[in-house]
Each structure stands twice: as structure tokens, then as C-alpha cells.
A = this chain, B = another copy of it.
């Protein structure tokens, strides 16, 4: 396979010239540039990625770190991944998928010290995530997908849970619902500081308080079974519920099944909104689910773009300060989920049989 020497020889220039036409790091006369281009084409030359990486100290490889549990990835997470992969590829970067157990800090440190990754995207971020510290002190630029509790000096792209929950509650309340049950992720996830669970919970408390609605919140395992169980206790605590707001894509199908088992029709008796959900999943249900549609691939794409911007500047700390990467370049962005009304929502039952004008029937 042809290398740079071969190209230089054929084009009758020096290797450095070839290198410079490739990188564009310094002006080359149009004439020589063409000679070189021709030579490259004739030889089918492709720069050797590792050699280039070694010399330039830039691998052009990004890491996507995610703990891969047995349950595998959900549709939303998968969208993050494909979005990131596509964006990286479009920018001429490679994206390596690194399954690192959340607890395996040494493995992470090792990975970071191999100098194979120009930067990393961190998924499944916990509120207090030790991986962030490890990565920073290893001098690897990081962009979080999700975010920690303290985001000082950190770049992240995350879903705007506040606004998502707020909008969902607003939508339901405007429809006339007053008894809204919020089904969260599992108690374990909450205890472990899983950001989305905590943030959406608080947002629900706030949103309901603002509308003088009593907040009923129930945790659920991330599975249809968990959803059924959650629904059972929902009926215990709020027998008169008219709407369910699910923060749990996996549990929501169990909720639907449970509702049917309880003899409740969706949306006539009970409305259901599924948050942070992909259209593909929404369409699986009958009736199709009204959702707060997750930004999907945009999250991964933007995260990559931001990471790339960080790389554009300086990546390694000049003096090994275990502090910030480079405070100037920090980018923090929240993307909202957007309401998509499908078939699982409607006005609450008490209002349904009361058409306009009926209210003043008996003056």
C-alpha cells in the first residue's frame, strides 16, 4: 500500500509538501498541489491513521462510554448512540463504543491513558459521577450526555426535564385533569441518584404545586411488570385518577395493560402521556401514545459537535492542573421533549359527557 514517500517521489516533491497539501496547515501553490493530488489519486493513497495519530497526537477517535447492562439499550439511548456515530463520521472522526462498568474506575483510567481517545462522551451520568473526575484528571476532554449535580466547568447536553414535565402537566391540566399520577423510574434508580428520575420528580412536584394539584408519585421498575405494579398502587393511592404521566418508557406498556385489566379505557377513562419516548415506541401501543418525544439523535449529534469544538482548542492541560479543561469553551445545553398528541389522551371522564351548553341547562 502506497505511503507518503511514494506519493512524494511520484509528484517530485518532498514528503512534507505532501503532508501539507493533506492537512492544509500551510499554503501550497496550486501547481504543486495538483501534482500531489494527481500522484495520490494514481497511487490510491490513503494516509495511515495510526501514523498520523502518533505524529500529530490526535487520534481522530472519540469514545462513547456507556455502561452496558444486561437489559441493553432503550430506544432513546440507542438514538443517542446513532446520532453520535453519524455526527462523528460526518466530521471525519471515528466513534468507539466503550462498555465500561460504572464502577470500573481503573478500567476507565486505563482507557483514558492509552491516548487513543481525543475526547469522550459520557452516557448514563449519575448526579455524583466519579467517572467525570477520572476523565478530567486524565486530561481527556469530556462532554456529558446527561449531567451531574454540580456542572461547574463541565459541558453537557441533556434533556430538559423541567420543561418537559412542566409542559406535560400543563397539557393534561388544560385538558381538565386534576388527579394525575406520575410514574417514575425505580426506587433503586432514584436512590442511586439517577438524574432523569430525580429531576423529573422535582419538576413534577413544582408543576403540580403551581396548579394546586396534589402530586401523586410512584416509582416503577423499568419493565412492563413494574408498570403494572405501579398502576396497582396508583389505584390504591388515587382511585379517582384520570391521568398517568409516565417517565418510564418500559413501564408504560404495563400501565396500559393494567389499565385494561382494571376495566379502564384509554383515553376515555384515563389519559396516558409517556415522557422521553421515541415515536417508534409510541406507535407500538394501541391507541398510539401521546408522548413528550425525546430529542433522540439530536442529543448525540450536538454532544459530538461540542466535543469537537473542545478539541479545536487546547485539549491537554499545560500544567496538569486537576481543575477545569478550559473554562472558555464550556457548553451546557438542555433540549426539551416536544409534545406529540396521539391517541392516548383526552379530557377526563367527568368532563367528557358534558357537552358545551349543558352547564346552564338548569339555571
Contacts and interface: CB of A to CB of B under 8 A. Distances in A.
A278 B74 CA distance: 12
A16 interface: no
A44 B112 CA distance: 12
A356 to B, nearest CB: 29
B72 A280 contact: yes
Which of under 10, 10 to 19, 20 to 34, or 35 or more describes the interface residues of A? 35 or more
Contacts of A256: 286
A85 B68 contact: yes
Contact of A50 (B53, B71, B73, B94): B53
Nearest to A320: B1
Contacts of A71: 280
A253 interface: yes
Counted per complex, copies of this chain come to 2
Interface string A33-77: 000000000001011111101100001010010001001110100
B89 A46 contact: no
6 contacts: A51-B54, A54-B54, A82-B99, A85-B98, A85-B99, A224-B283
A78 interface: yes
Contacts of A115: 1, 46, 48-50
A83 B115 CA distance: 25
A257 interface: yes
Given A49-B114, A64-B97, A257-B286, 11 more contacts: A72-B79, A72-B278, A78-B78, A81-B97, A89-B98, A89-B99, A95-B97, A224-B284, A224-B288, A253-B283, A284-B284
